Every structure is written in C-alpha cells, then in structure tokens.
C-alpha cells in the first residue's frame, strides 16, 4: 500500500504545486503521474488570489485523468465561488468573487468541461482513518449524516440552476474554526463518530491564524484538538508555504 499525501489551498500557485509534487516523486518534469500506488488528495481552493488558478485546474484535471484511482479532489469554497460566478455572473456572486481575489483570466478560460468537473466534485471523503474535508466546520452535517449522503445531497445542489442554492453552499463552506477552543476535541470526536475515521484533515483556515503568528513563520502542518485534527493550509496566498503533507 502506497503513501497518502494531501495538499490544500493552492490558490493559483502552480509553480509551487508542481515543485512539491515533483519533490515527493508524484510527477515528473512533464507533469506525468509517476506516483505509482501513492494517493494524492487536494482539499479544495485551487483558484483565486494567486497568479494561475486555471493552470492549477488544468494540472489537477490532467493528473486525475492519468490516475483516476489515485488523485482525488474535493470541492472548496473557492471552487463553489468560481462555479457560481460562471453560472450566475449578474448576481451577488460578482461582488463576493471580486472581494475574494477572483481572477478574470481564470473565469474567461473556464470551459464547459471544467464546469461539469466542478459540479461533479465531492465535498468529503474517507481515506483510511483520515476524514478529508476542505473547511474546518461541522456544517457538512447540514447536508447529511454520512459521507455518501453529504456528497449525494450536494451533487444535486450543484447540478441545479438556482443561484440561491449555489450561494448558500458557498456561504456554508466559508465557516471555520469549529475545532478550536476548549470544546474543539469533543466537536471533532462527534464529527468523526458520525462520519467515520479517527482524524480530520482540512485546509481553509490558514495555520498562522490558529497559532497567532505570521504565515511566513509556518513550517509544517498543525496537529491540534487533542491530535484529532490536522490543518494543512500553510497560507500560501498570505506569504506562507504551500504544504504537501505525507499523512502516513
């Protein structure tokens, strides 16, 4: 059985993603998957704020095509925002997209195939004992009581053409910090008891905000909530590192 790697919140930093994947022996110099039986999880937020979000989308989609059983992508709030902006450009998505670092070059380059791919992305997944999710929130439970039910519910939402439904999904995915504080471990235990696994792996909330330091001081993932949760968002857009974490 191969190793399991996870990264999150690339935010358009294609060069960093390529360097990390190559350094881990997962891709070659031509962006070909050479990871064998390793698993790669990307926990959302490929786009916005950084220089080449659409380039990151193209790379991830190519790697999934090459290794569909090994390369896994989850929907983040910025994918939901990108999709909403594309489908409903003259709604409040426009203002929110602009405020959150949306790039016109990314939007203009989206194809119908990209849109279909975005609409197909799951929200949560299990990989061994790891519960993979983008946002550090229990809000996922509002869509179901199991991984399968959550993903099925959201698939129906994403397939629809109601801008309010899409916006509500985006807004829910912006929630954060549910595992912080004195009750954080109990919140994590309850979520894991419901959805399975022994540890939550998430991005979304940059590690520096949990530690109270600058993102440039972040050196690796943060294990917290009595070891039940690991945050892998180094805060690349905020001057921190893009982390690729080997979970096993």
Tokens read off for 157: 């939402």
Q: What is the pLDDT of residue 229?
A: 98
55/106 Cα distance (integer angstroms): 8
Q: What is the pLDDT of residue 96?
A: 97
- β-strand partners of 41: 6, 72
Q: What is the pLDDT of residue 214?
A: 98
The H-or-E segment that residue 162 falls in is none
Q: What is the pLDDT of residue 243?
A: 98
Which domains are seen in the chain, by residue range? 4-246 (3.60.21.10)
CB proximity list for 110: less than 8 A, separation 6 or greater: 54, 82, 86
Question: In whole numbers, what is the pLDDT of the chain averaged over residues?
Answer: 97
C-alpha torsion sign, points 145, 149, 151, 155 = negative
Task: Answer whether residue 21 shows pLDDT above 80.
Answer: yes
pTM beyond 0.85: the answer is yes
101/85 Cα distance (integer angstroms): 12
Q: pLDDT exceeding 70 applies to what percent of the chain?
A: 100
Q: What is the pLDDT of residue 248?
A: 85
User: Tens of pLDDT along 106-150?
Assistant: 999 999 999 999 999 999 999 999 999 999 999 999 999 999 999
Q: What is the pLDDT of residue 44?
A: 98
User: Tens of pLDDT along 183-222?
Assistant: 999 999 999 999 999 999 999 999 999 999 999 999 999 9
Q: What is the pLDDT of residue 218?
A: 98
Each residue of 120-149: b (16+ CB within 10 Å) or e? ebbbbbebeebbbbbbbbbebbebbeebee
Task: Answer whether residue 1 shows pLDDT above 80.
Answer: no
60/72 Cα distance (integer angstroms): 9
Task: Answer whether residue 54 shows pLDDT above 90.
Answer: yes
- β-strand partners of 246: 5
Counting DSSP H helices and E strands in the chain, the numbers are 10, 9
Q: What is the pLDDT of residue 27?
A: 98
Task: Answer whether residue 78 shows pLDDT above 80.
Answer: yes
């Amino acid at each position: 059985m191969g190793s399991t790697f996870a990264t999150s919140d690339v935010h358009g930093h294609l060069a960093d993603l390529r360097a990390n994947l190559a350094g881990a022996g997962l891709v070659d110099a031509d962006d070909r998957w050479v990871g064998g039986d390793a698993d790669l999880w990307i926990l959302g937020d490929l786009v916005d704020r950084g220089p080449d979000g659409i380039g990151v989308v193209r790379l991830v989609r190519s790697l999934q095509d090459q290794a569909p059983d090994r390369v896994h992508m989850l929907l983040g709030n910025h994918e939901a925002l990108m999709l909403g902006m594309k489908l409903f450009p003259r709604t409040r998505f426009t203002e929110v997209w602009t405020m959150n670092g949306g790039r016109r070059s990314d939007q203009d380059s989206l194809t119908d195939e990209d849109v279909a791919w975005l609409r197909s992305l799951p929200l949560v997944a299990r990989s061994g004992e790891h519960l993979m999710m983008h946002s550090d929130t229990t809000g996922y439970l509002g869509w179901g009581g199991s991984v399968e039910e959550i993903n099925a519910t959201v698939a129906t939402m994403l397939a629809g053409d109601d801008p309010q439904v899409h916006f509500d999904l985006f807004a829910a995915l912006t929630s954060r910090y549910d595992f912080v504080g004195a009750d954080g471990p109990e919140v994590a235990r309850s979520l894991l008891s419901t959805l399975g696994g022994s540890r939550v792996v998430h991005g979304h909330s940059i590690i520096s905000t949990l530690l109270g330091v600058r993102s440039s001081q972040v050196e690796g993932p943060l294990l917290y909530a009595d070891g039940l949760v690991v945050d892998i968002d180094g805060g690349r857009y905020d001057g921190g590192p893009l982390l690729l974490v080997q979970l096993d």
